[in-house]
Structure 1
């Protein structure tokens, strides 16, 4: 049985078919204190989030670092995104937030593919059970960083490229372990501990950033707090 508390404060329980509702409720109650703590932390984080406007001056994440967004309207240039001296510079024909959002999303997808493939190649040396290079694709998802199909195809969320490299490695290793053990069994966690000791801390760090990097939101500093 697997109990997950999502950053949007949903509590989701995955249980094998033979387990009835009463057993599920008992399991949730036994873990009530931990669930409450995670819900409290996520609710607190949500207090300091506001919708993005995709205008100059906002901060956006890439590989765990924050970059200042700068939107410009230069003459005679194509629409593009550049990472320059600590800034994400977006050239547009007209400063339209939707155009900026789409250009930035496409830039993230392109960067994500390159980063994910590079990290997968590096991490395969640690997962001796993976015979050959597994297929890898990117797909935007609201509540998942990654997944692994029964056939061994790995899918990663392009938003993950906004997180620190250690967090990216954690997700890739997590999915590589699923090639050997598709369920979250004891064997799965033994493999995780083998390839990434203290992975729980990295997972917690990534979960804490979820609301900032999965959706169109950004943190703001509260007044008088």
Structure 2
């Protein structure tokens, strides 16, 4: 007896989401308004495979979809690349022998379990040494996260001081908040406060500089307008290559 496969209907898109098909794949994009006089539609594919679209307020959803479809092949290729990166990511178990990153370099994790040891993390001779009273991966992870957060505060503060010499439009020293985020490396509040992801300290220094400069540019340009990207390119001409490098590391440093 022949069986017939019946495809389940696609779930309705969330509000503000537009969907289209590229071949057999349904691709959904999250639309937001672009606060700019430029009528162009700006498309971004995030490492977590979200597709973001900024479009002028007056543009209809149909017009936005037509613009997105013209870039459908590029969007599909970006999604394939990010998905391929995710497939090769192995979930960390926080046991000795694993590789962990700090400032762009790989370090081997060494877990020392002893009731007499003071619990903490040390960076020694190419390894990250974590001392715990008993074998407990959750405790090892918590200690590492605290260590990364502490290091991030120091590293980000030093790099902000260096980047401020290039960001001549910034008056005063913006405050920094450290916050773990799943889909952002950083953000800038309307008041000029920078929020940075502590996981970013695992990336090379140049990537840290890129994220800080990106957020400092938002103090001058509060959205991703053409002027924003012109400003970013002025202070970091090769920012696109650095962003690509950082995006390629997402699976290695966010797990």
TM-score w.r.t. structure 2 length? 0.81
Displaced runs of 4 or more, over 6 A = none
User: Unaligned 5+ residue runs, structure 1?
Assistant: 217-225
User: For 1:193, which of 204, 213, 233 is the aligned residue?
Assistant: 233
The structure showing larger relative contact order (alpha-carbon pairs under 8 Å, at least 6 residues apart) is 1
Confirm or deny: 8 A CA contact 1:8 1:211 kept in the other structure. Answer: no
User: Which one has a bigger Cα radius of gyration?
Assistant: 2
Structure 2 distance, partners of 1:170, 1:116, is: 12
Confirm or deny: 8 A CA contact 2:115 2:134 kept in the other structure. Answer: no
Structure 2 distance, partners of 1:4, 1:142, is: 17
Indicate the residue corresponding to 1:130 in structure 2.
170
Confirm or deny: 8 A CA contact 1:137 1:156 kept in the other structure. Answer: yes
Query: Superposition RMSD on alpha carbons, in Å?
Result: 1.2
Deviates more, 1:5-14 or 1:126-135: 5-14
Matched, 1:96 2:136: yes
Deviation at 1:2, TM superposition (A): 3.2
Deviation at 1:105, TM superposition (A): 0.5
User: For 1:23, which of 52, 56, 63 is the aligned residue?
Assistant: 63
User: For 2:220, which of 180, 187, 190 is the aligned residue?
Assistant: 180
- Bigger share in helix: 1
Matched, 1:12 2:52: yes
Deviation at 1:210, TM superposition (A): 1.0
Confirm or deny: 8 A CA contact 2:86 2:251 kept in the other structure. Answer: yes
Matched, 1:2 2:36: no
Instruction: Report how many residues are paired.
Output: 215
